[in-house]
Amino acid sequence: MQIPNADFLERTGSKAMGARLWRLPPMSANTLHKHPRSEEFYFVLEGTGRMRIGQDTLTIQKHGGVHVMPEQLRQVFNDTDKEVLWLIFGAPDDELLPAQGGNPEDFYPVVPTQLPVEFGEATWPPKS
């Protein structure tokens, strides 16, 4: 979905935990997805975070967080006019991801690029 991000633990080779920064520009979203086994914790470092978990849409204030269990559909998005910076931790990180030969339907049971209803007619990523 073309969201700038940085993986902080990939260089450590950790098999038990992952940590990633996601910087969401205004009117952007990451993929709608789930994890078969991984729990994740989403923490807002800057801005006001927006996220959908299942059918619920949450607003998370700066320095607030939310814990998401396995099998729950999730999507971080930004429907504001200011950037939002998230720190996301996940464990365990031993799932076979689609890029590693895992089953894509285990992670993306619906169209992963669909945007939250809060976007109205807006599209992401922007057309160049």
State pTM to two decimals. 0.83
pLDDT tier at 19, thresholds 50, 70, 90: confident
79 or 124: which leads in pLDDT: 79
What pLDDT is recorded for position 54?
A: 94
List the one residue out of 33, 43, 50 whose CA is nearest residue 8: 43
Give residue-wise pLDDT tens across range 27-81: 999 999 998 888 999 999 999 999 999 999 999 999 999 999 999 999 999 999 9
Both tokens of 118, joined, read 């809060």
Report whether 24 contacts 79 (CB < 8 A): no
Domains by residue range for the chain, with CATH: 5-97 (2.60.120.10)
N-to-C CA span, the chain: 14
